[in-house]
Structure formats: structure tokens, C-alpha cells
Amino acid sequence: MAAVAVSSETEKLSKLRSAVADLNQISESEKSGFISLISRYLSGEAEQIEWSKIKTPTDEVVVPYNTLAPPSEDLAETKKLLDKLAVLKLNGGLGTTMGCTGPKSVIEVRNGLTFLDLIVIQIESLNKKYGCNVPLLLMNSFNTHDDTLKIVEKYSNSNIEIHTFNQSQYPRLVVEDFLPLPSKGHTGKDGWYPPGHGDVFPALLNSGKLDALLSQGKEYIFVANSDNLGAIVDLKILNHLICNQNEYCMEVTPKTLADVKGGTLISYEGRVQLLEIAQVPDAHVNEFKSIEKFKIFNTNNLWVNLKAIKRLVTANALKMEIIPNPKEVDGIKVLQLETAAGAAIRFFDNAIGINVPRSRFLPVKASSDLLLVQSDLYTLSDGFVTRNKARTNPENPSIELGPEFKKVADFLRRFKSIPSIIELDALKVTGDVWFGAGVTLKGKLTITAKPGEKLEIPDKAVLKDKVITSAKDI
């Protein structure tokens, strides 16, 4: 039976190889990367985690942020440190879940400024303050490439070098016969997919950007999602990595009940490793989700040594866990195989995690997150979004907005101005609800408009610990 299975997999791969060879929309390096990913998937090389071998990492492996040495206050020393750094933002995602058509990074977040505006302002102010040259790299996907090129033109006079490059473009696989969707006439964008942010390492090398950075004397790259407003350059972390020669560092932060599905760091057979929920045996899923045993999760803020990336990619040694992502295109079942950058941690020498404050993880995934960052809970200065010290509760309010608020345009229409939420603990809004100007929300609030009815919260209303279903409850 095993021999039959192997011969069938070999045949599948051979047919796929010849079909992929005819796809002239992608480069030779993309073709070989794709075939390599598929053959790994077919060989079923996924390693099963032995639950009993999992150990909680020590403070040497996941270093508490407050034990890091403060960086030098000497401006010249800091300049030396920053001249070894490049910043890379993962910019392949579209804002479709929030009702936008272009790259997510151009959604306006605060004071009319987009994610990308804020990132550019932050790095510009660093370069100006220390007289250094920290470049910004944007890894786009074929979905965001054209729009991003137009958008970055507006920064041409900025004090910052901006480089863009594309991650790989792989063909979606038809499940039925394991052939590429584009070879069946689906040559438009829906025939292709970007293979996850684990592709950042080969894409850096294949684009020529990695060698360019090394030739400029850069040693580390700080990689983060473009929608994480907390992912700013941190001198303490950079200084620690250079002093200790850590090739890879993942920022982790304490889990709350909202983060139970996030990947976590473990010690496994003597190495630090990322454990994702997909790798967890069914019998242990509840244990994985508990915040007692697994107390931290991956923020996807990563600091990686550039020479180490070159060494490992050239040796084809970064064999991260494969994430199968089934989809459907025009009724055809397709498969796309992806990898995650965090899973690469186990291949780097002297890799560590740093347990950072929650303020370094401030992603905007939905309009409820937008409400948080646009409110008085945060202040904006030099492109940095900072938590308002007037908020005494260390946790952010829990906010749940109904589907009427899902698209950014609808969200903005429903608030005359963003309410004050400094003293808010929880807010749940359902139905056709509209907010006036200067509203203050405190404590725990549930606001529900009855079906077919419009519920308006008047200007300057102060609401605290209430369940509101009609105007008379206000």
C-alpha cells in the first residue's frame, strides 16, 4: 500500500511540475519554491508534537522585557545601533474585511493619517533625531503592489528610504486533480495566492533586497504587520540582540482571554519553537487555550539577523510548518499552502523570545479596534500612538460592534464623533444604532436597537453601566 501511495504522489508531482513549467506569469525561483512546498506537503513530513516533551521556556529563552539593559543615552552610540537596522512591514493584505478595496495600510487610523503615514513619520523622526538611516521596506503581494507604488510616491521628499518588493505569487491548486488553477483558464488574480508571511525570507533574497541591505552594513531587520500600531522600533531590544548575538527574536506578550488562539513559544527538544493551535492534538486544545499553562502569545513582531537569513535561505533550510488553507473559486475547490514567519524561529541559532508589554501589540483587525485607537484612550505624537495615562485599568475595554459597523465607511457614518471611553470596561452594540457628538461611555454597556427601529444616542450623553434598548433607557 505504501509503495502505491508513493508512486501516486510521484505521478501527481510530475504532472504538476510540467504544468507549472508552462506558467509564464511567475519567475523560475517562484516555480521552484512552489514545487518544493508541494512536495514537502505530499511527503506528509509534518512532525507531530509529542505533548509530553513540551516544556515551559525559562527566562533565558523568553526574556522579560523589564530585565533588558537600557540603551546608551549617548546619541552617537544610538546612531551606531540604528545604522545596523532596517524595518520591514508586511503589506500584502487588503482591507476587504473592513470594506476597503486597496491595501489595508492605507486605512485612515487617526487624525486623517493612515497606517503607512504613521510608520513613515515614526521612522523619519528616528532618522532625524539620531542622524541615522533606517530604511523602510514594504513586502507587498500581487494584490497590493500597484496601489502601494502609487501611494509611496507621496513620501518622495521624506527623510527616509522606502523600498518595495513583492512576496511570491503561487498558483492555487485544484483539489480534484492537483493541477494549477491558472492552467485551466483562471489566469486572473483569483488563480493565484501569496503563500503567507513565512515567504518573507526567500522573497527578501530573491528580490535582491537582502544583499542590498547587507552591502549597506545592515545587520538586523525588524519585521511586523503593517496594521500593528504598537510595533515601533525599540532600542532596548535591538541593543540586547546585538550584544547577545541572537539571530532571531520573537516578541511575545501575556495572553488574555481574547488571545486564546494565538501561537505560543515552547521549549521542545532543547530548542525554542512556536506552537500553533493547528499543531495541537484535539485532546489538548482546551489546555492550549487556557491562560494558566500557556501564558504568552506571538505578536508577530520579529527581529532577525540578515546574515542568518541569507545562510538559511541559501541552504534551503527554512522548512516551516505548512498551513493548508482550503478555498473555493467559482465553485471549484482549491488548496493554497502557506507558511508563517514565526515558525522559522527553531532554525536560527541562539533564538529567543522577549516578553514585551501589551502596548507593543495594537493591531487593527476590525472596526471595534479602530474605535479603540481613534478614541481618547490613545494619544498621537510623532507618529507614535500611545496609551493615555488617565486610563487606570491596564486592560483595554472589550468592544463588540454589530455588522452595521463592519465597513469603515459605515463605522464612520454612525459616529458624529468618537466617544470618550477612558472609563469604559465593555461595550456591545447591535442593530441600527447612531452616536451623537461628545458622548461618554463608562462601565459596562449594552446598546441594542430593536429590529426595524433606529436608536440614536444624543449629543453629550453620558452612559454608565446600562442596558439600552430604546430612547427612554438613555
Grid cell in block for residue 152: 509611496
Residue 197 labeled ligand binder? yes
Residue 196 labeled ligand binder? yes
Residue 163 labeled ligand binder? no
Block residue for cell numbers 473555493: 328
Cα(468)–Cα(446) distance, integer angstroms: 6
Q: Which of 141, 36, 30, 136 is nearest to 89 (CA)?
A: 136
Residue 466 labeled ligand binder? no
Cα(286)–Cα(421) distance, integer angstroms: 33
Cα(92)–Cα(120) distance, integer angstroms: 17
Cα(335)–Cα(18) distance, integer angstroms: 19
Residue 184 labeled ligand binder? no
Block residue for cell numbers 488553477: 181
Residues in the chain, overall count: 474
DSSP state of 176: T
The separation between CA 231 and the C-alpha centre of its own chain, rounded to angstroms, equals 10
Cα(429)–Cα(449) distance, integer angstroms: 8
Give me the torsion for CA of 411, 412, 417, 421, rounded to 10°. Answer: 30
Q: What are phi and psi of 29, to 5 degrees?
A: -70, -35
The DSSP string of 390-419 is T--SSSPPEEEE-GGG-SHHHHHHHBSSPP
Cα(467)–Cα(166) distance, integer angstroms: 49
Are the beta carbons of 332 and 195 closer than 8 angstroms? no
| Residues in CB range of 217: below 8 A, 6 or more apart | 83, 84
| Residues in CB range of 139: below 8 A, 6 or more apart | 88, 89, 90, 91, 92, 164, 165, 166, 167, 197, 200, 203, 204
The separation between CA 395 and the C-alpha centre of its own chain, rounded to angstroms, equals 21
Are the beta carbons of 361 and 230 closer than 8 angstroms? yes
Binding site feature residues for substrate: 197
Binding site feature residues: 104, 167, 196-197, 227, 365
Binding site feature residues for UTP: 104, 167, 196, 227, 365
